[in-house]
Amino acid sequence: MMGMPQPISASETDAVIAVSALPERILNAAAELVGQHGPQKTTVAEIARAAGVGKGTAYLYWSSKEELLLALLAHETLKWVLAVRDKLVRDPEDLCPSRLGVLLLDSWPRELVELIASDLYLRRILAVHQQPREALDRSMPMKLCLRVLPLLRQKGLVRDDADALEQVYVFDALMTGFVMGKMVDSADFGTVDPRAVLSRAIRALFEPPVAPGRSHCERVLPEVLQVLDHAVAELNDVMLAMTRPAERSGKGQEEREAAGSQ
């Protein structure tokens, strides 16, 4: 009998995210700044300064800010997918819709929300860079959720007495609203626990009268992981396509800048 899927360790996660140390450092700095200021107000010069390198080094890997942001979108989405995958493997009962919704709400990083929230800005970038557009679109958090939901319905984790397309629409609307709500501090709802409210709403709308047990969730998990693992592969392909290997002369520049920043 096959064993249960295992969580991905920190070292394995680093191996899955297929960029080398310096561009990874630049992308991490970009994520922090985008989370603070949004993608439109963040400049390549600020990103390079936060990463401890010169602006020219960033341009060795990405010829424009737009390419850097696309790589960042793939990078942050990939980290999110791997984090969700790890949590599901550790506790397959998180596949129950009410728990899955809370897991997704908790795991969405602000950096990724900022990128997705700037939809018109991103769409303009993607319109120019058509090659990664479809792969990124398929791997966006809500698109992945909406691919998983029909699978959960087919396997009995989602009730089947409602229209399947309407369920997808409602789940999308719920999750989008709650995720965007994380970005806004509202004194009007200071005593409300969004996680509890989301869990109750999803349970009432989506779950069957008798909740599936752990063994049921464990049987469904491998098929859900197939969806996530396919997204991981696509996102890595996008990152590798958008991130150019530094030329030999560029590597010398990196070393000089790294030495100067210490």
> Which DSSP string do the residues of 34-49 spell out, in sequence order?
HHHH-TTT--HHHHHH
Task: Look up the pTM and report it.
Answer: 0.79
CA distances from 20 to 17, 67, 261 (A): 9, 17, 19
**Residue 7: is its pLDDT beyond 70?**
no
CA distance 132 to 70: 8
Pick 128 or 243 by higher pLDDT. Answer: 243
**Residue 153: is its pLDDT beyond 60?**
yes
CA 120 from chain centre, in angstroms, equals: 19
The per-residue pLDDT for range 83-93, each reduced to its tens digit, is 999 999 999 99
Helices then strands, each counted (H, E), the chain? 14, 0
Question: What is the pLDDT averaged over residues 156-175?
Answer: 93
Residue 150 in tokens: 């029909």
Residue 140 in tokens: 């966006």
CA distance 27 to 17: 12
Q: What percent of the chain has pLDDT over 90?
A: 46
Q: What angle do CA 150, 224, 73 make, to 5 degrees?
A: 95
Q: Kindly report, as residue ranges, where domains of CATH 1.10.10.60 are found in the chain.
A: 19-62+243-262
The pLDDT value given to residue 152: 97
Average pLDDT, the chain: 82
Binned at pLDDT 50, 70 and 90, residue 251 comes out as very low
| Least-confidence region, from 9-18, 72-81, 113-122, 208-217 | 9-18
| Least-confidence region, from 8-17, 40-49, 126-135, 163-172 | 8-17
The pLDDT value given to residue 11: 46
The pLDDT value given to residue 255: 41
**Residue 4: is its pLDDT beyond 60?**
no
Binned at pLDDT 50, 70 and 90, residue 187 comes out as low
CA 227 from chain centre, in angstroms, equals: 14
Residue 12 in tokens: 């394995």
DSSP 3-state assignment of 52? coil
CA distance 256 to 24: 18
Q: Alpha-carbon Rg of the chain, whole angstroms?
A: 20
Phi, psi of 90 (to 5 degrees): -70, -35
For domain 19-62+243-262, give the CATH number. Answer: 1.10.10.60
Q: What angle do CA 160, 201, 178 make, to 5 degrees?
A: 120
